[in-house]
Structure 1
Amino acid sequence: MNHQQQAKNKLWKFSPIPNIEESNFNKILERFYDMGVEGLTRENTQNAMDGRLLDFNGPVILTIKTGSIKKSDIPGIDEIIDRIICLEGRNSYTKETIKHMRNKINQEEVRYISFEDYNTRGLTGARNGQSGSLSDTWGIYAYNKGVHFEESDSAVETSRGGSHGVGKIASNAASDINLMYFANCDEHGDKHLGGTVQLIEHVFEDHCYRSTGYFTDIEYLDDNKSKFYPYVNKFHRVFEKSTRGLKIIIPFLRDEFDSEEDIIKSICDSFFVSILQGKLEVNVNDEKITRDTLEQYVKNSRYYNQDITEAKKEFTPLYVDTYLSETPQDLIVSDGLKDYHFHLYFRYDEEIPKGRVAIVRTIGMKVEDFKVTGNVNKPFNAVIIGNAEEDAYLKSLENESHTKLSSEHIKDPLLKKHAKRFINNLSKEIAKIIEEAIKKNNPTDGLMNTKDILYVVETQFKKDLSDTLGTVMVSNGRPVVKASTNVPKKKKQERKKNEKEQDPPKKKRDPLKRQKRQDTENGTEIEEQRREKYSAHPDMVERIILGNKEVLRFDLAKSEQITNETSCDISLSIIDGMGVEYPNEFKINDNYSNVVDLNSGIAYNISDNVIKDVRITQGVAELQLELKDSYNKSLKFVYYVEV
């Protein structure tokens, strides 16, 4: 029997190659594996919605089932096992992966997950097999990697979720042996079964083969060419698809993907808008997620933490409330060439700890939890949805896994430039709305002239602070002068009738007092020759936060001790409302991305948690600090000046 006849008799087909050149598994497998259940359900749900019936106004219905199946009932599994046994790893990663595969193939009963859609078109042209025609979606889905079918109707194509052609491999990544099947029933009622397995290039029965195997029949043509044709579906009921549409079956389901709770959450996280709009219904085993039941899952503590103050990583309950309760407002974002118009559902709530924006495509799929630059810790929540034109642009900005807007994958320099500008402007426009909401919810009494005053500390806080803090703090942190909180203040003495008998007025104390140290060798006091460190009285420091920037102004002219200094070092420590200091708790580099001179823009160096060589001009030092997302704007500080 020749090689072609041997291949014809096998259910799985691997293309022969002259030599092994690639010894690694497909890198996209690892990417989708890292995305977990969310990546798996997202890709297959998106595929179902992309395949919706165009003349049908009802919802796409997706049924997700998990269960167990005998290994012997999996079509062609013995051939896959034989291939896995022959795999040879050439680095630590492939060796470990192959070992894991070999451990899993010894099971007699394996777990599986299936995704079956209804009210969908299914794949077309299965009878034509590997035709190469763009209208035969079976051939594209079954046999082409990195290619996705494009709708002839541009409006329909724009609304589709897929665009990169890599999502099909998400199903392989969910299997311990990178195995998946797809059952199809088309408009003619034809039922076929296909499948793929992702291995590595390998030697089998003295021949070298490519890494990808196809569950398919083959016809050999003249000139040493061949063509794939699908099998008519007469296999186990788990692989059956009797109504029009597509069914994905993934045997050897990984343990970490086998969680009904996580599957339900991932559906709610990515498709809450589709479900609320009545475009999608999902059945997960016996659980039904529809527009009437979605809130039952989102507001269930089994799935989501219901404490709004703890919404720091999961935002779906907030998104659903925002989308259902807020009236959308118009948001215009430019990429530098044209304006894009969005509907923004915006909610301001002081209890919300982290501000995020759900960017949603018109298909109803959330792209990402967008972080507005400089506003990630602001108390808001928002959902943004565009129209068809905006949807097309967002689609062009999505990364391969449809989980983030990015310009990194865009090759054209001009398009890349405008994509970056759009993403930056998206942050800026939403930031304006956030700032407006903050002002509206935190009104000030009267007008404040901020020309010379950068930041005003509450009078009582400054009074308490000055009573509690020492005037001088030496380098080792030992206080020299400190107000005692245990000594009651003296009552004011009655004014003496004779002005001559009054005590002479006390000289105003310098807010920065130079410190002398004790010489430990001879016990005599000497003038400290090295730099001295002083705590700054609150009256000397003015502070304001504007967006993602903080401005500090030190009026050092109030101190007679450093009138001739032209530079200084500045450091800071956190204090609480009682004036208790927490030295070394606050790290400058962890909270500020850069520190510059406000007037010249010259960047200052930061060493040992100290801002070095800050310029003093006419007794004033002014700094501008750019905040990182992790910065807590509610912190209070005591500042130190070292000269």
Structure 2
Amino acid sequence: MKLMWGAETENKGWQGLNNAAINTFNSNVINSLVREMFQNSIDARNKLAGNSQIGDKPTKIKLRKFSIDKEQFPSYQEYREILDLVSNSGPNKKHRTFFNNAFNELDNKSKITLFGFEDYHTPGLSGDDNDPESSFSSCVLSEGTSINKDDTAGGSYGIGKNAIFGFSKTRTVFYSSLNPHDEFIFQGVAKLASFKDKNGKQYGYRIYCGKGNKQKSIRDIKELPSNCKNIFKRDDWGLSQYAVCPILRKGWQKAFIKAILRNYWMLLEEGELEVEIYDEGERIFFINSENLEKYLLKYFAPEEYAPEDIEPDGNPYDYYKAFKKSEPIIKEVDGLGTVQFHCLELEHQNTNRIAYLRNGMTIYTDSEWGFGSIGYCGVFYCSNQKGNSVLRLMEPPTHDAFEPEKLDERSEDFTFKDGEKILKKIKSIVREPLKKIKDKYKEPAEDIPWLDDLLKSMIGENNSGIGKRTGEKSEEETTQKLGRDIDMDVSFESKKGNTFINNKNDDNTDEGGGVDEGSGGGKRKGGKKTKNKNSKGGGPYGEQQTNKTNINSRIFITDKSEQIDSKKFKKYKVILESEEDLKPNDLMLSQQGDSGELVDYELGKVTDINGNKLNFKKNKNSKGEITSYVIEKVSIPNQLFIYVNEPYKSSFKIVKG
């Protein structure tokens, strides 16, 4: 029997092209496709748990871009004629851009591009055309329905299946399925708009490709035309969905990989998912638990990562690292049961979010108020089926939040207030370890003499010499974090000069603005006029202005070092906090050695917390000896990493705790 395209007649109303179920997923079509389609396949795979032929095989997904001749497209000419009718019918004419894009893909190219989303180790579809409770009807024929009987299944609103239609420039999809009973099913569907034929008869917006005048699904692959059997056949259980004329831009492969890693890194890590990507028959990527970290570092390396305007926010490599490297905090939550939270301190603030997962999918991420001064990330998930079923009920149709009010609509056992209590308890679990990280920086620790002097020089409180050079190499530094709270008052009208450097001319103004006797008037210590026009000090050359702010400074030795020009430079974290934001200034790093003026260390690199390099330069005396380093344009508050080579034992010995 011949394959035909057609739609059912429509007696009243008009369904326009603005389909809310499809438009929901159009903000980022690739990310939406990955979130929704992968979730459906994973849920389907879980239905085969315990099947002896599947065993512990993971959900396997193949993504395939390929091209076919128009002769291989099922009943192409009839399909093209119906699209003309739709585009020229009444209210549809205002959507000229959409139809022009579709016709450009179909008419101006020798081949038609398809994009296949194929899952394996899943049960495929079952049930006949007239069974509204079947998986075939729910997936292909119906709207707003879901037959997921698993309380923890991802989909529950029945709209996620529309994500692939938003991925097609013609909103057309072919379905091909093989289930565990070796039953084959084929159907084509286009979701467009109501239309009228040449006789004025009106038809509905759903246009089907199937067998005969009623477009019934094909249940025997032998009934497919010979020239398209190989395109739609399946060799194993599962479901294939083919988007016609997919929305693919340059770099689509990378966009898919990043979306997969962003949303499903945990399932990949636990061996529950593997993905293959093909381009015109060539396999170009294969991602599983064995190479997951390689791909995370390739696409989300922390030192190169920049926050993206794509949900879920944050760097998936950071979440992965937290999951792998931190011990879980295990708690009990009323209504959820056992939950787990992994928390990790980071040396940057590019993520600074908690990832909330359900069934291995990142539902959403969120930052915690009050912890912006530290670098952190975390992973929260429920480790039992009951709790995941409650969290699922709190998700909106887009599955990107937990909303307690959903419980009043969807649960017989839980209310909005129950949901609020659950989320409040989750917040308390998440915030506790973050507070411990933050409080750690407030605790006093051992002095680091040379760094104390160094930091004091940065804010204008240089001390005298720190010890005699011995010429011996320093001891191996301890990896224990050391530090000291130093509350200092930086004042531009005090007797002690500050060490800010004029950004315009690099003149040292550490004597600028000081006075001999109190504030205002009096003789200036330096004996000459300052070149810093922005000086706020008193004295005869400037208005008396007081600009005081309290700076809290802490220094920590890390367990990391870096080879720079064949030398080992130890990494230190310097935290500068202030009550007010100070505009960027140059900071001088000096140190009093036995010579009285020379620095006894070598500065190799300075970065901010996000890994951006800061420029610095050396100040030298007439003999070419280094007297100080100048770090350019540093704002406060700030967190810096400084890399230092420490050659002398007595000058730079680190006291072990």
Tell me if both proteins adopt one fold, taking TM over 0.5 as the criterion: yes
Identify the match of residue 339 of structure 2 among 342, 364, 389: 342
Q: Secondary structure of 2:443's match?
A: coil
3-state SS of the aligned residue for 1:84?
helix
Q: State the partner residue of 1:586.
A: none
Report the CA distance shift for 1:579/1:264 in structure 2 as closer, same or farther (over 3 A).
Answer: closer
Aligned to 1:497: none
The aligned counterpart of 1:318 is: 318
Tell me the alpha carbon deviations over residues 336-388 of structure 1, each in whole angstroms, 9 at most, x when there is no partner: xx4653111110123343311221212x2111223324446641111112121
- Counterpart CA distance in 1 for 2:396 and 2:494 is 54
Displacement, 1:315? 0.8
Q: What residue number does 2:81 align with?
A: 82
Take 2:513 and 2:32, find their aligned partners in 1: how far apart are those partners?
65
What's the secondary structure of 2:268's corresponding residue? helix
Instruction: Classify 1:377/1:70 alpha carbon distance in 2 versus 1 (closer, same or farther; 3 Å).
Output: farther
Contact between 1:356 and 1:376, CA under 8 Å: does it hold in 2? no
List aligned pairs for 1:351-390, cutoff 5 A.
351-362=348-359, 364-375=360-371, 378-386=374-382, 387-390=384-387
Aligned letter for 2:362? Answer: K
Tell me whether 1:244 sits opposite 2:241 in the alignment: no
Does the CA contact (< 8 Å) of 1:84 and 1:101 recur in 2?
A: no
* SS at 2:317 equivalent: helix
Query: What corresponds to 1:207 in structure 2?
Result: 201
Aligned partner of residue 429 in structure 2, secondary structure: helix
* Pair 1:277-2:270 in alignment: yes
Residue of structure 1 equivalent to 2:469: none
2:402 aligns with 405
Runs of 4+ in 1 over 6 A off after TM superposition: 467-470, 506-510
Residues of 1 paired with 2:270 and 2:59: CA distance? 12
What is the Cα deviation at residue 195 of structure 1?
2.5
* Alignment gaps of 5+ in structure 1: 1-7, 152-156, 221-226, 447-456, 471-483, 492-505, 511-533, 544-551, 554-571, 581-631, 637-643
SS in 2 for 1:181: strand
Q: Out of 104, 119, 122, which is 2:121 matched to? A: 119
- 1:187 counterpart residue number: 180
User: Corresponding residue for 1:462?
Assistant: 490
2:393 maps to 396
Q: Give the drift of 1:22.
A: 3.3
Give the structure 2 partner of residue 619 of structure 1.
Answer: none
Alignment of 1:491-502 (within 5 A): none
Q: Secondary structure at the match of 1:394?
A: helix
| Residues 139 and 459 (structure 1), Cα distance of their counterparts in 2 relative to 1, 3 Å cut | closer
Structure 1 counterpart of 2:220 = 232
Task: Say if 1:195 and 1:376 are closer, same or farther in 2 by CA, change over 3 A.
Answer: farther
Match of 1:444 in 2: 444
Using the alignment, how far apart are the partners of 2:193 and 2:10 within structure 1?
12
Q: SS at the partner of 2:188? A: strand
Q: 1:570-625 CA deviation, whole Å, 9 max, x = no partner?
A: xx874346699xxxxxxxxxxxxxxxxxxxxxxxxxxxxxxxxxxxxxxxxxxxxx
CA gap of 1:634–1:489, structure 2 versus 1, over 3 A, is closer
Change (3 A) 1:98 1:391: same
Does the Cα contact within 8 Å between 1:14 and 1:214 map onto a contact in 2? yes
In structure 1, the residue matched to 2:49 is: 54
Counterpart contact for 1:375–1:431, Cα < 8 Å: no
Q: Deviations over 1:88-142 (max 9, x none)?
A: 36389623222322322213312221122222111122xx32222x3x2112222
> Structure 1-normalised TM-score?
0.65
Q: Which residue of 2 aligns with 1:42?
A: 35
Matched, 1:267 2:260: yes
Q: How many percent identity over aligned positions?
A: 16
- Give the equivalent residue in structure 2 for 1:254: 247
Change (3 A) 1:215 1:410: farther
The 3 A distance-change label for structure 1 pair 463 and 39 is same
1:345 alignment partner, SS class: strand
Give 1:538's match in structure 2, choosing from 548, 551, 560: 548
Give the counterpart letter for 1:324 in structure 2: K
Cα distance in 2 between the residues matched to 1:89 and 1:444: 76
Is the contact between residue 308 and residue 351 of structure 1 (CA under 8 Å) also seen in structure 2? no
Tell me the residue number matched to 2:605. Answer: none
In the alignment, the residues of structure 2 paired with residue 420 and residue 209 of structure 1 have an alpha-carbon distance, to the nearest angstrom, of 47
C-alpha offsets along residues 287-331 of structure 1, whole Å, 9 cap, x if unaligned? 22111111121122xx23441774675511112222122211124
Query: For structure 2, which runs of at least 5 residues remain unmatched after alignment?
Result: 447-484, 499-508, 522-543, 553-577, 589-634, 640-657
SS in 2 for 1:105: helix
For the pair 1:634 / 2:637, whether they are aligned, the reply is yes
- Change in Cα spacing, 1:291 to 1:424, as seen in structure 2 (3 Å) is same
Instruction: Provide the C-alpha distance between the structure 1 equivalents of 2:205 and 2:247, rounded to a whole number of angstroms.
Output: 21
Describe the shift of the 1:411–1:489 C-alpha distance in structure 2 as closer, same or farther (beyond 3 A): closer
Instruction: Read off the aligned partner of 2:290 and give its amino acid letter.
Output: D
In the superposition, relative to structure 1, how do residues 485 and 345 fare at CA in structure 2: closer, same or farther (>3 Å)? closer
AA matched with 1:575:
K
Question: Aligned equivalents of 1:208 and 1:92: distance in 2?
Answer: 16
Partner of 1:433: 433
Aligned Cα root-mean-square deviation (Å): 4.0
Residues 33/71 of structure 1: CA separation in 2 closer, same or farther (3 Å cut): farther
Query: In structure 2, do the counterparts of structure 1 residues 183 and 535 end up closer, same or farther at CA, with 3 Å as the change threshold?
Result: farther
Residues 475-486 of structure 1: pairs in structure 2 closer than 5 A: none
Q: Does 1:28 align with 2:21?
A: yes
Counterpart residue identity of residue 415, structure 1: T
Residue type of the alignment partner of 1:232: D
Aligned AA for 1:399? P
Indicate the larger mover: 72-81 or 280-289: 72-81
- Tell me if structure 2 keeps the 8 A contact 1:311–1:352: no
Deviation at 1:274, TM superposition (A): 1.0
* Alpha-carbon distance in structure 2 between the residues aligned to 1:81 and 1:465: 81
| Contact 1:115 1:248 (C-alpha < 8 Å) held by counterparts | yes
- Aligned-partner Cα distance in 2 for 1:340–1:71: 55
SS of the residue corresponding to residue 187 of structure 1 reads coil
Deviations 1:231-290 (A, max 9, x none): 533352222213221111112111239712221222222111111111111111222211
TM-fit CA distance, 1:230: 3.9
Distance 1:377 1:184, change over 3 A: farther
Which letter does structure 1 place at the counterpart of 2:49?
L
- Residue 98, structure 1, aligned to residue 99, structure 2: yes
CA distance 1:92–1:359, shift in 2 (3 Å): farther
- For residues 471-492 of structure 1, the C-alpha deviation after alignment (integer angstroms, 9 at most, x for no partner) is xxxxxxxxxxxxx85558678x
Distance 1:204 1:258 in 2: 40
| Structure-1 separation of matches of 2:490 and 2:274 | 58
Write the distance in 1 (CA, Å) between the matches of 2:315 and 2:166.
Answer: 26
175-184 vs 278-287, which moves further? 278-287
* CA shift for structure 1 position 24: 3.5
Q: Which amino acid aligns with 1:31?
A: T
Aligned pair in 2 of structure 1 residues 204, 258: CA closer, same or farther (>3 Å)? farther
User: Aligned equivalents of 1:144 and 1:124: distance in 2?
Assistant: 14
CA distance in 2, matches of 1:264, 1:508: 63
**In structure 1, what is the equivalent of residue 569 of structure 2?**
none
Whole-angstrom distance in 2 between the partners of 1:415 and 1:70: 55
Question: How far, CA to CA, are the matches of 1:241 and 1:486 in structure 2?
Answer: 81
Q: Which amino acid in 2 is paired with 1:269?
A: R
2:291 equivalent in structure 1:
293
User: Following TM superposition, by how much is the alpha carbon of 1:144 offset from its aligned partner in structure 2, in angstroms?
Assistant: 0.9
Contact 1:356–1:381 (8 Å) recurs in 2 = yes
